[in-house]
C-alpha cells in the first residue's frame, strides 16, 4: 500500500519594509517662504526662518514670536539678521528687475511727479512693486527699495517701517550702486512680515545657506 506523505504549508510572514517618516514643515499662511519651528531654546516661542533646516539655526533666523502669525507686539527680531539682509540688498538690489524698472520710471520725463508721501490705506497688505522715492526727471537722485507687504500707491513713498534702504540712480535711469540703509525698516509690522521680490529672496536664502554651512 502506498502512503502519501502529508505536506504542511507554512506561510512565512511578509517582510516589512521600513518606511521613512517625513514631518511636514510648517510655514506662515501669509508667507509660505518663512518656516515656523519650535524655538530650540524657549518652548514658549516659535522661531521664524527662511531656511528649512531642522533643527533651525537661531542666529540665522528672522526672530522669534509668542504667537503665529507674528505681530509687532509678539515678535522679537534677531539682531544678527538685519546686517545679513542689508549686505544682500547692498550687493544685489541694483540687479533686481523691479528696482531697475523703478529706476527707469524715476528718470523719465514724468519722474518729477514721483515721491509723494504714501497714504495709509488701512491694515490690508498685498503684493507690490517698489515705488520711486524722489522724482528724478533726468536729474538723478535716490530711489527707495521697500517691502512688498504694504505697497505704496504709484508715485508715493512707502512708510519708513517698510523701506529697506535707498539706491542711487543717475539721470539716465542707470543704477549707480551706492546703497544706504534706511535705519527704519521693521521685519514685522501690522501689515505683515518680511516680503521680498523673488529675485532678492533667492539671493538672501543663498547667503543664509552659505553662512549655515560655514561659508564666508
- How far CA 135 is from CA of 8, 100, 184, 206, in Å, comes to 93, 15, 21, 33
Q: What is the pLDDT of residue 112?
A: 46
For residue range 94-114, list pLDDT tens digits in order.
999 999 999 988 877 655 444
State residue 106 phi and psi, 5-degree precision.
-60, -40
- The confidence score (pLDDT) of residue 121 equals 43
What does the alpha-carbon distance between residue 28 and residue 33 come to, in Å, rounded to a whole number?
A: 8
Which among 99, 110, 109 is positioned nearest to 167, based on CA atoms? 99
pLDDT in tens, 61-72: 999 999 999 999
Return the residue matching grid coordinates 505697497. Answer: 151
Q: pLDDT at residue 125 above 50? A: no
CA 137 – CA 206 distance, rounded (Å): 36
Which 3 state secondary structure label does DSSP give 8? coil
pLDDT, tens digit, 9 for 90 and up, residues 133-173 = 445 456 789 999 999 999 888 778 999 999 999 999 998 88
Query: First and final CA of the chain: distance in angstroms?
Result: 89
| Pairing of the two strands 175-181 and 156-157 | unpaired
The predicted-structure confidence for 42-63, as pLDDT tens digits, reads as follows: 999 999 999 999 999 999 999 9
Between residues 141 and 215, which one has the greater pLDDT?
141
Amino acid at each position: 500500500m502506498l502512503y502519501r506523505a502529508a505536506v504542511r504549508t507554512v506561510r512565512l510572514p511578509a517582510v516589512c519594509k521600513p518606511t521613512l517618516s517625513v514631518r511636514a514643515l510648517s510655514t506662515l499662511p501669509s508667507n509660505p517662504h518663512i518656516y515656523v519651528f519650535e524655538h530650540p531654546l524657549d518652548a514658549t516661542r516659535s522661531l521664524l526662518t527662511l531656511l528649512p533646516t531642522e533643527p533651525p539655526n537661531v542666529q540665522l533666523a528672522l526672530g522669534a514670536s509668542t504667537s503665529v502669525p507674528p505681530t509687532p507686539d509678539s515678535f522679537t527680531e534677531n539682531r544678527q539678521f538685519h546686517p545679513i539682509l542689508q549686505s544682500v540688498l547692498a550687493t544685489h538690489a541694483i540687479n533686481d528687475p523691479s528696482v531697475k524698472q523703478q529706476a527707469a520710471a524715476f528718470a523719465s520725463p514724468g519722474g518729477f511727479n514721483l515721491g509723494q508721501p504714501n497714504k495709509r490705506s488701512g491694515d490690508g497688505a498685498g503684493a507690490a512693486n517698489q515705488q520711486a522715492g524722489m522724482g528724478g526727471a533726468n536729474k538723478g537722485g535716490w530711489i527707495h527699495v521697500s517691502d512688498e507687504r504694504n505697497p505704496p500707491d504709484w508715485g508715493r513713498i512707502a512708510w519708513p517701517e517698510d523701506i529697506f534702504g535707498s539706491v542711487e540712480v543717475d539721470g539716465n535711469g542707470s543704477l549707480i550702486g551706492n546703497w544706504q540703509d534706511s535705519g527704519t525698516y521693521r521685519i514685522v509690522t501690522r501689515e505683515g512680515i518680511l516680503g521680498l521680490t523673488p529675485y532678492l529672496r533667492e539671493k538672501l536664502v543663498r547667503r543664509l545657506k552659505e553662512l549655515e554651512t560655514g561659508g564666508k
